[in-house]
Amino acid sequence: MTAHVDVIVIGAGFSGLYALHRLRELGFRTQVLEKADNVGGTWLFNRYPGARCDIESIEYSYSFSEEIQQEWVWTETMPAQPEIEAYLNFVADRLDLRRDIAFGAEVVSMVFDEDAAVWGVETAAGPSFVARYVVAASGILSVPLEPTIDGLDSFAGTSLFTSRWPEEDVDLTDRRVGVIGTGSTGVQLIPVVAREAGHLTVFQRSPAYTLPWHVRPFEPGELEDLKSNYGEIRELQRAHPVGAARLSAFSVLLDMLAMPPLKTASREEQLRAIDENGVMGALSWGDIFFDIEANQMAAELYGEAVARIVEDPATAAALKPTHPFGCKRPIIDQGYYETFNRDDVALVDLREDPIVAVTPAGIRTGQRHHELDVIIYATGFDAMTGALTRIDVRGRDAMSLADFWGTRGPYSYLGIAVSGFPNLFIIQAPGSPSAATNFVAAMEQHVEWIGDCLAHLRAHDHRTIEALPDAQREWMEHATALVARTVLVHPTCNSWYNGGNVPGKKRMYMGYTAGIPEYRRRCDEIAEAGYTGFKLG
Ligand code: N01
């Protein structure tokens, strides 16, 4: 049976839930298709020990509803995964969203019917849908990157993946655990696993830059005070380039830009910086995002700061990063480097001693065999494009979105629409601010802009909207020019920001770095001028 609706929304994470609410309010018959059995998106699957957001809870939350922001009670400054999952469930119930969400409904194909100007959407379980519009709220970090290591399936112990961590408790007590991956996920997980496991071996390919951060419960009355001031907090957040005006992993980067240059700093000044501020002091220089030599000097200083924390000189040296700081997403931690001072934690530097294979009893590197009971993979995501390229999306002339992005690169217009794919809106596509900002703030702007756009199309009897190729090309040139002078495009930078973490993926920086307010201004200008750069049919 095929159901007919106005809009299909793919995904019931942060964006899909708000899209459903907004579009329903505007009077569109909207159906959400969610592959999981509950709401939450990436915050449902990534339930590994230590999972936590690195933006403050009062900013990493919906701003569109005064009732929700007053009623929900956050317990900590930066929320842990269980609290975010509970929050999204609360929102789904509070707004009565579940009645329009089909769970266990994984979208496998979407074909645009040019004559009828509608999308035909098929799910793996069978039910199909026809809708004038599709809003892909399928997430920027929702498709795990499965490592391709020889023998991975042969392991006789327990294999765990951070991106699909089991719901039931995992007992690591007295077990020999190996962790592969030292990005944001690994850096959060490693100190927690070290406290629980009998022995932990960290298999590190690229050492991380990570800044220590104090996360704490709210003091009595503190959250109430903040809530009484929510209007102002949201206003400041809205005006802030990263969509988070309070201290966050992103705002720290912006603060660094305002610091004096490292290249002209004396040795005394450099040492004072790490005396006073440790690893943070090593990186707090204004020139390191634009000058690769300054960046390399900062990496050296960072290594010195790490060596002051990590007692074993060989381990400290192995923890010193070699890629430019800033070219990967910033990371904050709670006790990461201190973890390596434990007797029951070992570090394997895969640059010196690479993994050869997973064996039934552990991991074999070039130099030895590491016996393990549990292997945890924290190996990242096929970000930004991965969710949609795993669906067979066919636009005009049966053009495949996966083929287009795979050959041309991850192009879009405004990070929201792709030429050749009419009536498809993508929440935070490549070319949108998401990657370098508070995702929730960036996403809310997208949902609101899309809602207004659909209302405009309905009011003016349009059946289609499609990005024009020239507008798309100019947008990507503009987004690319913004980062051209920065270390973000340095050739040694392999990150989910540029697809460099996925073998064979077309490499291109996928964010928009002029900040959310500037991005919003441009989007609004385009809408007010009658959706310039789009063809309305
Ligand atoms: O993924 P990553 P992540 N053998 O890609 C390594 C968000 N997030 O899940 O760098 C050995 O950063 C890989 O090594 P290398 C946040 O946006 C947010 O950690 O490719 N190693 C790297 O060390 C973040 O940026 C929060 O050399 C292998 C690691 O795995 C994004 O999610 C918390 C390997 C992957 O790091 C992704 O973070 C968590 C292999 N075969 C996540 N394959 C917060 O809000 C990969 N690696 C705090």
pLDDT score at 249 = 83
276: pLDDT strictly greater than 80: yes
How far does the centroid of ligand 1 lie from the alpha carbon of residue 329, in Å?
9
| Residue-by-residue DSSP string for 282-311 | HH--TTTTT-HHHHHHHHHHHHHHHHHH-S
Closest residue to atom 43 of ligand 1, CA basis: 379
pLDDT in tens, 109-122: 999 999 999 999 99
Return the structure tokens found at 529.
């001028």
Instruction: Using the mean position of ligand 1's atoms as its centre, give its distance from the Cα of residue 208 in Å.
Output: 9
Residue nearest to atom 29 of ligand 1 (CA): 181
Taking alpha carbons only, the member of 326, 356, 323 closest to residue 435 is 326
Pocket perturbation via mutation, ligand 1, pick of 501, 507, 510 by most ligand atoms within 8 A of CB: 501
pLDDT tens-digit readout, 71-107: 999 999 999 999 999 999 999 999 999 999 999 999 9
Which run of H or E residues covers position 133?
Answer: strand 128-136
Shortest-distance atom of ligand 1 to CA 355: 4
Q: Write out the DSSP string of 78-115.
A: S-BHHHHHHHHHHHHHHTT-GGGEEET--EEEEEEETT
Q: Which domains does the chain have, with CATH numbers?
A: 2-39+97-143+382-536 (3.50.50.60), 152-375 (no CATH)
Residue by residue, DSSP assigns 57-77 as TTTSS--S-HHHHHH----BS
Indicate whether residue 83 lines ligand 1 (CB < 6 A).
no
pLDDT at residue 1 above 80?
no
Q: Measured in angstroms, how far is the CA atom of residue 379 from the centroid of ligand 1? A: 5
- The predicted pLDDT at position 468 comes to 98
Q: Is the pLDDT of residue 507 over 90?
A: yes
186 lines ligand 1 (CB under 6 A): yes
Q: How far is CA 125 from the centre of its chain?
A: 28
Q: What is the pLDDT of residue 253?
A: 86
Q: Is the pLDDT of residue 197 over 80?
A: yes
pLDDT at 145 over 80: yes
Contacts of 481 (CB under 8 A, 6+ apart): none
Q: What is the pTM of this model?
A: 0.97
Can you tell me the distance from the alpha carbon of 379 to that of 384, in angstroms, rounded to the nearest whole number?
A: 16
Residue identifier of the C-alpha nearest atom 1 of ligand 1: 380
